Every structure is written in structure tokens, then in C-alpha cells.
């Protein structure tokens, strides 16, 4: 393993498998998935309107009808298998290099060339919404440790992400963070945050852009998953970017009240729960200084009943169980209930940071973003 990178090195057969899976997923996305809309518009929708005397009213009705459609069943089965193959293709090189990777991560944690930090809490309870399902089908999810000082979950996540989204997040998998930075600066052009907290940071792909963009700010990042945090800390140190990582639950961080100018997350809230969502919004409010800003960006949920149905595929087939609830919930109302004043909490949309529209079954989408100003 090169001292210049924490990325897994692949043998010829391993790389060939990853290339195949990536091409397979691209084929399903670009050539097969568009046909679902055609089948829906030309066959399923007209038949439903004829039989019921009205069009589909919501995504629940679409789902009950579409899951029996042969074309959709074919795509869904192949999409599910491609997800399983993706993890299989990155798990083998991770297992082969794990000891060497752990040693490299430990070295960086000890040397701390960038001056960041890592605080782990072995006694922290892992929430049930992490333990009940392997999120994204990643074996063991993000939090499971198989050996001492394990970093496998972080390395596997990092290797699988460009296959999952076909490289659309850029060479550093950081374009979601960059999109939220652009949104923040567009909405709050005079803001100069001094302390930033990123909730649910996983391996820090979206954290590092904030630390780079605001080099004078003190950037903190939390997650419940120790293997991901170890990897994230080493990654930041190797990049020369000081970030303070800690194993904490975003619902109750234990951090000082009114201690941050900016509290944010990147596609985290759909991986929590109904109770946790209220708690983490309330915790965001508690942590903000007066005048501070909350930003919780999440994945698009679709713009019509069909698009909402398609977004639900992840719910039923990729262990994104809580995401179904987010389709209908009023996040701004939850923020007001948590303490934000009416008019100072609203839903907005962050534009993608270059060229990732075609990764979704829609065009011109925005990342739905909950904004709150204390």
C-alpha cells in the first residue's frame, strides 16, 4: 500500500470485477431504468386510469401496481444484485490488505501531521437504526468491528462509493460537500463560520471540503461508527487537513450548548429514525450560537408519484428503511417544534456540484436541504 494513499489496491482480477460491476450498474441506469418510465406512461398508467376512473394519486398506489410489472421486477432484481456484487468486489481487496491498512491508519493517528484529533467511545450505544439492517447492504453496515482497531467498514465504503454512484461525486467523492458549501455561501454570503460541526460524517468525504474552504475554522465531525472514524481521521491527516473527529450520536452529542456557528449533515437524516430525526434537529438547535445556521441536506424524494415511487426502491431493496417517512414529513415544522422561530426554518434546495443529474431518475434535481437560523 502506497504511503500516499489509503485507497485499496486491486489485483487484475479484482479490478476487472469492479469494472464489470460499475459497467453493469451504468447499463441498468442508462439503458434499462428509463424503460420503467415508458412502461408506466404507455401501459400501467392508462390501464390504471381506465380501471379506476382516475389517475394515480400517490406513490403508494403506484407501488402497489408497479411491483407486479415484469419489466420493473427485472430491473429491480438486477439492481439489487448489482448492489451485492459491488460490495463483494471491494470486500476481497479490503480483507487482503486489512492488516497493512490498519497499521498505516495507526501510524497517521499517532503522528497527526495535520494536527487533527480522534476521540472514540467504546461504550457508546449504537442506535438500532444502524444495527437492525446493513444500510446500503454493506456487510456489517458502517459500525461493525471484526478485529482490533478495525477500519474495514471505512475502506469498503470508500471503495464502493464511486461504483455505487458511477464516479459522479468526483475523484475525492466530495461533491456533495462542495454543493452544500456553494448553497451556504449563496444564502449567507457574509457568513464566516469559526466552528463547524458535521453530523454523520462516515469517512469524511463531505467534511474535508468545509475544512479546506474555511481553513481558519475549527471543524468537528461526528459519527457512531468507529471503523469509519478511524479511516476518516487518517484520511484527513494524510491530506494535511485538521479535522476533529469524535464517536458521538447526533441525537445527544454531549457537546457544549451554543458552541457552533454552523451545524450540518450530508445525506444522513434518511438513515436515522422518526424519533432520532426530532432529536438531532433539537440537538442542532441547542448546539448553535445565536445567529448560527443549521443545514441538513438529503437525497431527492421525487417530484411526482412515479418519481417518489422510484426513490422508494432504496427503502425496500437497499435497507434505507427510514427514507420512506421522509417523503411525507414536514421537516421545517419539526425545526420550529425544536425551537427555531417560524420563518427562520425552511426547506430549500442545493444544486448538484457539476454533472450528477443523470445518476438519478430525474433531471434538474436539487438536494433537498433543511435550513434553520437560530
Q: What is the pLDDT of residue 327?
A: 86
Each residue's pLDDT, cut to its tens digit, for the chain (374 residues) gives 444 579 999 999 999 999 999 999 999 999 999 999 999 999 999 999 999 999 999 999 999 999 999 999 999 999 999 999 999 999 999 999 999 999 999 999 999 999 999 999 999 999 999 999 999 999 999 999 999 999 999 999 999 999 999 998 988 999 999 999 999 999 999 999 999 999 999 999 999 999 999 999 999 999 999 999 999 999 999 999 999 999 999 999 999 999 999 999 999 999 999 999 999 999 999 999 999 999 999 998 888 999 999 999 999 999 998 888 888 899 999 999 999 999 999 999 988 765 554 444 454 578 999 999 99
Q: Closest by alpha carbon to 363, among 313, 320, 319, 300?
A: 300
From residue 352, give the alpha-carbon distance in Å to each of 55, 67, 96, 293, 363. Answer: 32, 30, 36, 20, 11
137 CB neighbour count, 10 Å cutoff: 17
Measured torsion, CA atoms of residues 178, 179, 180, 183, in degrees rounded to the nearest 10: 120
HSE on the CB side for 246, CA within 13 Å? 13
Distance CA 1, CA 130 (A): 31
* pTM as predicted: 0.95
C-alpha cell at 121: 467511545
Rg (C-alpha) for the chain, rounded Å, is: 21
Q: What is the pLDDT of residue 355?
A: 53
Fold of 1-374: Rossmann fold (3.40.50)
**What residue spans define the domains of the chain?**
1-374
Contacts of 93 (CB under 8 A, 6+ apart): 8, 9, 10, 11, 14, 159
Distance CA 186, CA 196 (A): 18
CB 213 within 8 A of CB 181: yes
Q: What is the pLDDT of residue 184?
A: 97
Distance CA 86, CA 25 (A): 9
**End-to-end CA distance of the chain, in Å?**
46
Q: What is the pLDDT of residue 303?
A: 84
Q: What is the tally of helices (H) and strands (E) in the chain? A: 15, 8
Q: What is the pLDDT of residue 2?
A: 42
Amino acid at each position: 500500500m502506497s504511503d500516499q494513499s489509503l485507497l485499496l489496491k486491486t489485483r487484475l482480477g479484482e479490478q476487472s470485477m469492479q469494472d464489470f460491476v460499475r459497467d453493469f450498474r451504468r447499463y441498468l441506469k442508462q439503458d434499462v431504468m428509463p424503460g420503467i418510465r415508458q412502461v408506466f406512461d404507455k401501459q400501467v398508467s392508462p390501464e390504471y386510469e381506465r380501471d379506476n376512473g382516475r389517475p394515480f394519486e400517490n406513490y403508494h398506489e403506484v407501488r402497489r401496481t408497479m411491483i407486479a410489472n415484469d419489466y420493473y421486477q427485472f430491473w429491480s432484481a438486477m439492481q439489487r444484485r448489482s448492489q451485492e456484487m459491488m460490495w463483494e468486489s471491494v470486500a476481497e481487496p479490503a480483507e487482503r490488505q486489512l492488516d497493512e491498512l490498519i497499521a498505516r491508519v495507526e501510524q497517521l493517528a499517532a503522528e497527526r501531521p495535520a494536527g487533527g484529533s480522534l476521540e472514540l467511545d467504546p461504550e457508546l450505544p449504537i442506535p438500532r437504526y444502524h444495527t437492525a439492517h446493513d444500510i446500503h447492504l454493506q456487510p456489517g453496515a458502517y459500525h461493525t468491528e471484526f478485529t482490533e482497531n478495525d477500519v474495514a467498514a471505512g475502506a469498503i465504503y470508500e471503495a464502493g462509493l464511486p461504483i455505487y454512484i458511477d464516479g459522479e461525486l468526483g475523484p475525492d467523492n466530495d461533491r456533495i460537500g462542495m454543493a452544500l458549501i456553494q448553497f451556504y455561501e449563496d444564502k449567507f454570503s457574509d457568513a464566516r463560520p469559526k466552528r463547524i460541526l458535521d453530523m454523520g460524517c462516515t469517512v469524511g468525504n463531505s467534511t474535508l471540503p468545509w475544512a479546506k474552504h474555511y481553513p481558519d475554522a475549527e471543524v468537528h465531525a461526528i459519527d457512531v461508527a468507529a471503523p469509519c472514524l478511524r479511516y476518516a481521521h487518517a484520511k484527513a491527516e494524510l491530506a494535511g487537513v485538521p479535522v476533529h473527529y469524535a464517536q458521538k450520536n447526533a441525537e445527544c452529542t454531549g457537546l457544549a450548548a451554543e458552541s457552533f456557528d454552523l451545524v450540518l449533515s450530508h445525506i444522513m437524516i434518511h438513515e436515522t429514525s422518526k424519533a432520532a430525526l426530532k432529536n438531532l434537529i433539537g440537538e442542532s438547535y441547542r448546539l448553535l450560537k445565536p445567529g448560527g445556521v443549521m443545514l441538513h441536506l438529503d437525497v431527492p424524494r421525487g417530484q411526482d408519484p412515479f418519481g417518489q415511487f422510484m426513490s422508494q426502491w432504496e427503502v425496500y431493496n437497499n435497507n434505507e428503511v427510514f427514507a420512506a417517512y421522509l417523503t411525507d414529513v414536514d421537516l421545517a415544522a419539526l425545526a420550529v417544534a425544536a425551537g427555531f422561530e417560524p420563518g427562520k426554518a425552511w426547506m430549500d434546495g442545493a444544486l448538484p456540484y457539476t454533472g450528477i443529474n443523470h445518476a438519478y431518475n430525474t433531471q434538474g434535481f436539487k438536494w433537498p436541504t433543511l435550513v434553520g437560523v437560530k
